[in-house]
């Protein structure tokens, strides 16, 4: 029951956000830039120099300042890709609040969340605006090490 209610809410959110993103398409891979695949089924946990990572491919994405990225959920589950601000390593417990479920932000330095990304859908386009190491993760599966890193240089 609770799950069903939640699913309806997230579907409503997803359709809302699809209409409010400055005309940039938000579904089916139409977003621009370097694609980070979101799939906890296929991308098994692996070590990185930043710690264990699962669910994102690649687990560490290196991109140039001035370019763009986006996330595409190819899984059959809902995920998020949400920045963990102001950290130099992955926090041990989940750093996220319910705000992660709403799409927000369009650059790395200002913070972002894909919002609840339904199966098959893509995030907004995110500008790589400032060099740095950016940690992010999934609201739903942080405890399963669904985490990744973007290195902007």
Site membership for Cu ion, residue 100 (CB under 5 A)? no
Considering only 87-95, 96-104, 110-118, 136-144, which stretch makes contact with Cu ion by CB under 5 A? 136-144
Phi, psi of 70 (to 5 degrees): -155, 165
Q: For Cu ion, which is the closer residue by CB, 127 or 148? A: 148
- Cβ neighbours for 5, distance < 8 A, ≥ 6 positions apart: none
| Structural tokens at position 109 | 């330095």
| Structural tokens at position 107 | 């650059």
Site membership for Cu ion, residue 71 (CB under 5 A)? no
Site membership for Cu ion, residue 138 (CB under 5 A)? yes
Which class for 41: exposed (0-12), middle (13-18), buried (19 or more C-beta within 10 A)? exposed
Site membership for Cu ion, residue 140 (CB under 5 A)? yes
Site membership for Cu ion, residue 79 (CB under 5 A)? yes
Strand 46-48 vs strand 51-53: parallel, antiparallel, or unpaired? antiparallel
Site membership for Cu ion, residue 146 (CB under 5 A)? yes
Nearest distance, CB of residue 65 and Cu ion, angstroms: 28
Site membership for Cu ion, residue 36 (CB under 5 A)? no
Residues lying near Cu ion in the complex (CB under 5 A) are found at 79, 138, 140-141, 146
């Amino acid at each position: 029951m609770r799950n069903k209610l939640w699913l309806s809410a997230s579907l409503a959110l997803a359709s809302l956000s699809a209409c409010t993103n400055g005309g940039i398409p938000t579904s089916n891979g139409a977003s621009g830039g370097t694609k980070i695949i979101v799939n906890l089924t296929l991308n098994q946990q692996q070590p990185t120099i930043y710690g264990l990572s699962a669910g994102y491919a690649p687990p560490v994405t290196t991109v140039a300042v001035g370019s763009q990225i986006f996330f595409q959920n190819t899984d059959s589950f809902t995920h998020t890709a949400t920045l963990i601000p102001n950290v130099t390593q992955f926090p041990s417990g989940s750093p996220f609040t319910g705000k992660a479920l709403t799409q927000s932000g369009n650059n790395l330095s200002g913070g972002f969340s894909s919002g609840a990304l339904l199966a098959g859908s893509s995030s907004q386009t995110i500008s790589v605006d400032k060099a740095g190491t950016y940690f992010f993760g999934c609201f739903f599966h942080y405890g399963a090490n669904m985490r990744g890193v973007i290195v902007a240089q």
